[in-house]
Amino acid sequence: MGREGTELSRHWALDPEITFLNHGSFGACPLPVLDAQRRVREQMEREPVQFLTREAPPLLAEASEVLGQFIGASPEGLAFVPNATTGLNAVLRSLSLDAGDELLVTDHEYNASRNALEYTAARDGARVVVISIPFPVASDESICEAVLRGVTSRTRLALLDHVTSHTALVLPIGELIGELEARGVQVLIDGAHAPGMLDLDIDSLAPSYYTGNCHKWICAPKGAGSHQPRRQCAGAEVRTFSRRVRLDGNQRPERGARCARGHPLSGRLAPRWMG
């Protein structure tokens, strides 16, 4: 349908000759949002130091409040990152694993996320255990059973998509998080597609870490991800571009996410992670 054909289409810069459906790769951004982004850029360029040191922090705090309400996450545990991949790498690069530890993932995982997991495992002599979930899936129970069968005493973390990229499954993460975390396995949710597609209450789901994108289904400007480490992972520290999130609860996992290798998102390392 052409742009003239709908009431809302005048709010978008989309080519009227196409019907754009692929907000899953990169969401198209409405014109009023692009306008707001331009105004903030202009504000920054009027006095960059003043903006970055004084004006940006309260703006980010306000954005954390608004986003936190939308995704059901307490704002003090939220950090902005450029995309889900960066949030995921911030967690994985902060892990301190022992040789022989195991990291769980399913065979539906997004390739770049799986690569980051493989890299982390190889770095520490750990092992990635891939859980096969035959498609089409029989039931949520069959997914849970398959994942939980893969847990051993060496399992430290499970990386799970909230919505799988290639197969468009909504994984039963509520149940999986409960079962895995109860077994001492930290859960990192790759929620790249979830914000704006699913009603979210991340604090109730309570995974150790949740990373997501605002530039897909929320249609925020490109480069808007978010990252939600759970506060109860005490002593853990996850470093991101916008914030160092210090976690001060009292359930420190035996081998948790301790960030000891310098700023994982800094300088020349970052491009390698994004590749």
Binding site for ligand PLP (CB under 6 A): 24, 83-85, 110, 112-113, 161, 165, 190, 192-193, 213
Q: How far is the CB of 190 from ligand PLP (least distance, A)?
A: 5
For ligand PLP, the closer CB: 112 or 148: 112
223 alpha carbon, distance to own chain's centre: 12
Would you call 191 exposed, middle or buried from its count of C-beta atoms within 10 A (0-12, 13-18, 19+)?
A: buried
Q: How far is the CB of 6 from ligand PLP (least distance, A)?
A: 26
Q: How far is the CB of 62 from ligand PLP (least distance, A)?
A: 23
The dihedrals phi and psi of 252, each to the nearest 5 degrees, come to: -60, 125
How far is residue 118's CA from residue 72's CA, in Å, rounded to a whole number? 30
8 Å CB contact between 113 and 275 = no
Query: Backbone dihedral region of 75: left (phi > 0), alpha (psi from -120 to 50 degrees) or beta?
Result: alpha
How far is residue 231's CA from residue 243's CA, in Å, rounded to a whole number? 14
Q: How far is the CB of 58 from ligand PLP (least distance, A)?
A: 26
For ligand PLP, the closer CB: 208 or 213: 213
Host H or E run for residue 59: helix 56-71
Q: How far is the CB of 193 from ligand PLP (least distance, A)?
A: 6
Q: How far is the CB of 167 from ligand PLP (least distance, A)?
A: 10
Q: How far is the CB of 110 from ligand PLP (least distance, A)?
A: 3
For ligand PLP, the closer CB: 127 or 222: 222
How far is residue 148's CA from residue 129's CA, in Å, rounded to a whole number? 12
Would you call 125 exposed, middle or buried from its count of C-beta atoms within 10 A (0-12, 13-18, 19+)?
A: exposed
Task: Using the structure block, give the residue that is written with the tokens 């022989």.
Answer: 100
How far is residue 71's CA from residue 193's CA, in Å, rounded to a whole number? 12
The dihedrals phi and psi of 229, each to the nearest 5 degrees, come to: -80, 145
Beta bridge partners of 214: none
For ligand PLP, the closer CB: 68 or 212: 212
For ligand PLP, the closer CB: 89 or 186: 89
For ligand PLP, the closer CB: 27 or 253: 27
For ligand PLP, the closer CB: 181 or 190: 190
